[in-house]
Amino acid sequence: MEAVDALEHKLSSYLDPSQVRKVLKAYEFANRSHEGQERQSGDPYITHPIAVAHILADMHMDHESLMAALLHDVIEDTPATKSQLSWRFGKTVSTMVDAVSKLTEIEFSSKAEQQAESFQKMTLAMARDIRIVLVKLADRLHNMRTLGVLAPEKRRRIARETLEIYAPIAQRLGMNDMRVEFEDLGFAALYPLRYRRLREAMKASRGNRKELVDEIKTMIEERIDSENIESAVMGREKHLWSIYQKMKSKRKSFRQIMDVYAFRILVTSVDDCYRVLGIVHNLYKPVPGEFKDYIAIPKANGYQSLHTVLLGMHGVPIEVQIRTEEMDAMANYGIAAHWLYKSGQTDEANHARATRWVRGLLDLQQQAGNSLEFIEHVKTDLFPDEVYVFTPKGQIIELPSGATAVDFAYAVHTQVGNRCVACQINGQLASLSQSLESGDKVRIITTKNAQPNPAWLNFVITAKARSAIRHFLKHQQHEESVDLGKRLLDRALHSFGSSYKQIRKSQIKKLLMETGAPTFESVLEQIGLGSRVAYAVANLLVPENKRVKPQDAARGNSPILIDSSDGLIISYAKCCHPIPGDHIMGHISPGRGLVVHQESCKNLDDIRLNPEKCIPLNWSPTVEGEFTADVKVEVAAERGIIAILASRVTEQNAPIEQIRLNERDAHTNIVALTVKVKNRIHLANIMRRIRTLKPVQKVYRVKN
């Protein structure tokens, strides 16, 4: 009863009496529903929902959130239903309670999948109503505070999940106080011995530091007071988990990390923030490159503050954060400060920023293949050190440190990323893989028919770019392999006197039963990828008694047309480098799809006689792209001949991929060139240009 009275007193300070009554009504219902139930500690179960409501009341959350907090376990642990709650407390509250329950109730085959799935559901819940997640975070916080009664194994599992998922979400929503508590409670449960040692070391160092902290604080206060600025200066202690992480990642000793003194200065206006910055820079020397202005450009989670590092007396480093009281509330409560400071504009912007992040997560979710892939993407996004770059129109785009122009393109819009071919950074043409720096102005050059390059996955770092590229490539590969599968199956069916267009539903049904494949499309995809043989599938589709001799024997061998150099499931054999104009043949290679060879290639000898494996091909009249060709040039040994050869080739708009020089004897060298050409005519023009050079004795194309 004391806890309920305290809650009522807390709520009366900021809610209307009618809203407080609604919250108390929810408490009475929860109390009746949970009657006789106990927590593992032996306390009545109702103590948990009350504690969760207290956490939210400290953030000044609205009455609906508090009602949901008190009722959050009712659907899961008692006979009460969602429709009962809806009838008693309204649709909004019942939906929130249902969503919070759903975030915990599913069992999965693996712990990783369970975490991933619950995170995925949390994202959907956030998109519907961000308050659902605040209730869930408060629920987890109270569970962490009372973790001691659980078995060690369960304790460690919950602690790890909290550190990996809940703490980063709290950070991303700007809720620093909650994040710090999550991290320290998680640290204590996961590594109890290390936690105790660090805590003792921290206590011991506090005594030695007190004098110096007081001295620095007094000097800062006196200097600010002399300028008649209202302020509060406080020493800031690093929390244990962040000290432990720094010791681990930077390989520093406890003493090295504790040698830094940190202070926070709170003032009343943004104007005063910059004035105080000038005052502390006059008082102590600032360290170059360590000043960060998060007021002009807030962090992705809405955090605003000025950060600077100073060198105090005896060369002691002093970290200073300067912000207004409202910014401090935003830093501590994050998205929940929206309810604390309803009047201000800053929290509206922060609310929008958090909601934008959630919307971004939803896009990722739709593109990811499964929940594990989704969480792998999201984890890369949860701990960003941001860089801020500008679009040509001056709009600011926030990206994690190390992001490239391709990450920027996808941050602007998925279609901009998919069609990106080049970029300008600060007006200069630059590589797409170049890391961006804060302040860069980036312009993306796009073309209509461009598509993502699989090599981009080696350097992009944002989750959005990575998942969009993978999604596009998966989709593209699927479409290409289904299309090739259709054409291969059509050829195979023709040898039995049938065709793709003549397949009936009953035949497909029978095929799926015999192969165990989920859909006919998946069978076509497997044929295109080379995982299934087209003749074997045709054999199942057309029983022996229904086969007829094909009237048009030639059609069974009609060639498949090749129309591009850059398909995902059509590759060109490196042994003979076929180019448009060559007579070509292909074979299906498991996992690689169709491999194109020159018809005369020696490597086709083994499969040439097997019509199931060897496929006649033709170039499409509209074929386009760049194809690799190998050329050898015998030249008299002269200085500068390589440069002359290279310029002759590039004059013909043919990029050179590789040049190798071999000495045949004292007078003759053999130069091996690997060039990109459009077709045989293009290659013939290049060879003709090379032949006109005086030192050249012989030019020929290497075919095998």
Catalytic residues: 76-77
| CA-based end-to-end distance of the chain | 88
Cα distance between residue 107 and residue 114, in whole Å: 7
State whether the Cα torsion 388-391-397-402 is positive or negative: negative
Give the list of residues 6+ apart from residue 209 with CB closer than 8 angstroms, or none: 258, 261
In the DSSP assignment, the letter for residue 441 is B
In the DSSP assignment, the letter for residue 565 is S
- Which 3 state secondary structure label does DSSP give 618? strand
Closest CA to 119 of 382, 477, 440: 382
- Which 3 state secondary structure label does DSSP give 305? coil
Dihedral over alpha carbons 406, 408, 414, 419 (to 10 degrees): -40
Is the separation of the CB atoms in 381 and 463 below 8 Å? yes
* Strands 317-324 and 261-267, sheet pairing: parallel
Taking every pair of C-alpha atoms in the chain, what is the biggest distance, in angstroms?
104
Tokens found for residue 93: 């509250």
Tokens found for residue 703: 């075919």
Tokens found for residue 161: 């999940």
Is the separation of the CB atoms in 133 and 173 below 8 Å? yes
Q: Residue 430 CA to chain centroid, in angstroms? A: 24
State whether the Cα torsion 165-168-172-174 is positive or negative: positive
How far CA 75 is from CA of 14, 131, 462, in Å, comes to 29, 18, 38
Cα distance between residue 420 and residue 399, in whole Å: 18
Token pair 């001295």: residue? 215
Give the list of residues 6+ apart from residue 383 with CB closer than 8 angstroms, or none: 168, 171
How far CA 603 is from CA of 579, 585, 609, 614, in Å, comes to 17, 11, 13, 12
Is the separation of the CB atoms in 92 and 22 below 8 Å? no
State whether the Cα torsion 462-468-473-478 is positive or negative: positive
Dihedral over alpha carbons 474, 476, 479, 485 (to 10 degrees): -80
